[in-house]
Structure 1
Amino acid sequence: MKPDLHYSFQADMQTSRLTIRREFDAPRDLVWDCYTWAELLDQWFAPEPFTAKTKSMAFEEGGHWHFAMVDPEGNEHWSRFDYETITPKDGYQARDAFSDPDGGINRDLPASTWDVTFEDASQRTLVQTVLTYETPEALQQVIDMGMQQGMEATLSGLDKLLAKLTGATAK
């Protein structure tokens, strides 16, 4: 049986910031690829029973990832990441927002800046994602929408994909 993987989810209402830390039982190069290649993101970046579907992606500074989370009935919930800075294998910063199917930002729902870093942690990889919202109310809104449960389920999906890619067995 695998040892427990480190996971934390902390909301700081004073700074409108959410910090998610998660270890993965895989090398950094592979975890990085899972976060930066559309073909791999589509296999894990949605909490079950949802699936992810990329419409377009250019993982480069000034590029974007436009995708939908698709529910079992086929309803699409669109989002857009706009990549601001990228340091290969170490991290990236992106602006995340809900969008329409054409990539237009939905200004009625909270947007955030994601600062995602990747670090070696022995034989594992530690990914830290810091999401910064414009206001504490925007942060509370995504928490109320189920962000914590959604992220836990989504990251578990990445565990399953990594196990498949490395030939290991997921917990």
Structure 2
Amino acid sequence: MPVISATKDVDTLTMTFVAEFEATVERVWQIWADPRKLERWWGPPAWPATFERFEFEPGGQARYYMTGPDGTKAHGWWTITAIEAPHRLEFDDGFADENAEPIDPKDAMHDTVTIEAAGDRTRMTTVTSFSSVEQLERMVEIGVEEGMREAQNQIDELLAA
């Protein structure tokens, strides 16, 4: 299991996941930079993602949906705010409507991903920042914490291919 820790901090309004992989920094970076690779792990196993738009550059937009076991589609969006390849990615993300348009951009979360060598492994730290305790608690209630753990635990198989 690549996820070695998952912490929720109400004081700092963050949820942090730390995962380690037996792969180079550059290979781990590619699971973010390549939308076809991203689709293979973004979202829990029962909710695979499909990226319909993916502009991997600062200011770029991503639009995707995850398909549930019953065919239900949950749409989401990203706006990429910073890229420092192959070590750092930042983006705002939130829920989208069926046309892939943000439902409430003011309700966005901010994600910061750092990728660094950790001995002969690579450590990926993902920090999601929330705008309020209510937003953090709402995301936990809908299963974001468990879903992210399940999603990141799929990455080893992708990196082994």
Q: Structure 1 residues 128, 55: CA separation in 2 closer, same or farther (over 3 Å shift)?
A: same
What residue in structure 1 maps to residue 34 of structure 2? 37
- Give me the TM-score of the superposition, normalised by structure 1: 0.88
Structure 2 CA distance, aligned partners of 1:5 and 1:157?
8
Q: Structure 1 residues 150, 109: CA separation in 2 closer, same or farther (over 3 Å shift)?
A: farther
Identity of aligned residues (%): 26
Q: Structure 1 residues 108, 65: CA separation in 2 closer, same or farther (over 3 Å shift)?
A: closer
Runs in 1 of length 4+ with deviation above 3 angstroms?
Answer: none
Out of 12, 16, 25, which is 1:15 matched to? 12
* Alignment partner of 1:114 is 2:116: no
Out of 120, 123, 126, which is 1:126 matched to? 123
What residue in structure 2 maps to residue 56 of structure 1? 53
Task: Report if aligned partners of 1:110, 1:142 keep a CA contact under 8 Å in 2.
Answer: no
Determine helix, strand or coil for the equivalent of 2:155: helix
Using the TM superposition, give the Cα deviation of residue 107 of structure 1 relative to its aligned residue in structure 2, in angstroms.
2.2
Using the TM superposition, give the Cα deviation of residue 145 of structure 1 relative to its aligned residue in structure 2, in angstroms.
1.1
What residue in structure 2 maps to residue 25 of structure 1? 22
What residue in structure 2 maps to residue 74 of structure 1? 71
What residue in structure 2 maps to residue 149 of structure 1? 146
Q: Structure 1 residues 147, 109: CA separation in 2 closer, same or farther (over 3 Å shift)?
A: farther
Alpha-carbon deviations, 1:7-37, whole Å to 9, x = none? 1111111221111111112111111001121
Query: What value does the CA root-mean-square deviation take over the aligned residues?
Result: 1.7
* Number of aligned residues: 161
Determine helix, strand or coil for the equivalent of 2:154: helix
Task: Report if aligned partners of 2:3, 2:153 keep a CA contact under 8 Å in 1.
Answer: no
Q: Which runs of 5+ in 2 are unaligned?
A: none
